[in-house]
Amino acid sequence: MLLHACVNIAWEGGDVTKQRSYLGESPEDRVSRRRAQMIEAGLEVFGSVGYQRSRVSDVCDVAGLSKRYFYESFADRAALLLAVYQHVDAAQRDVVLAALGAVDPDEGDVMVLVRTSLLAQLDFLAEDRRRGRILYVEMYQATDPVTEAYRASLDAWAGVVAEILGERASKNGVSP
């Protein structure tokens, strides 16, 4: 099979840059795909072995990519851990918000909403135990910039949940 690469040459600030499409995939799409592979590999490695016991080479081996591609998207393991956390946390939030959205809007019992959100979260964590390890164990093993981002994310999420519960309660004449 003959592989073709399409080369686009652009003049940017005096430099000639080459952007090659490979098998119909743009350079940006390839970078994005490799980043996603690294995040999935990070979930596997950090969620199974742990952040402290892992190396960049472990993640690269699981992803099936070289270290070059790791550093294409991440400055270090801590940056990958944060990306893995954000990936898992976003999925968790989607699940919890969907569960809360399915509760009858006229439901005035805040405990029904709390129970619904907790059960949705527990189901999410039970589906893949690595998720819980990332969300509640490994983030505490990281360096300050990562733990600071983690705490900020937790605070933001707590604010979202409190707002939802407060709106629901006041809409139904219940004091939050």
Q: What pTM was estimated for this model as a whole?
A: 0.81
Q: What is the number of domains present in the chain? A: 1
Residue 153's CATH number: 1.10.357.10
Structural domain includes residue 119? yes
Q: Which amino acid is at 165?
A: L
Q: Which amino acid is at 118?
A: L
In the structure encoding, which two tokens stand for residue 131, read together?
């998720």
Task: Single out the residue of 163, 43, 52 nearest to residue 91, CA to CA.
Answer: 43
**What pLDDT sits at residue 159?**
92
- The count of C-alpha atoms lying within 13 angstroms of the C-alpha of 117, restricted to the half-sphere facing its C-beta, is 16
Q: Which amino acid is at 105?
A: P
Structural domain includes residue 176? no
Structural domain includes residue 52? yes
Q: Which amino acid is at 34?
A: R
> Mean pLDDT of successive 10-residue segments in the chain (176 residues)?
40 46 76 97 98 97 98 96 96 95 81 92 97 93 84 91 80 62
Please give the residue range of the domain that contains residue 114. 5-171
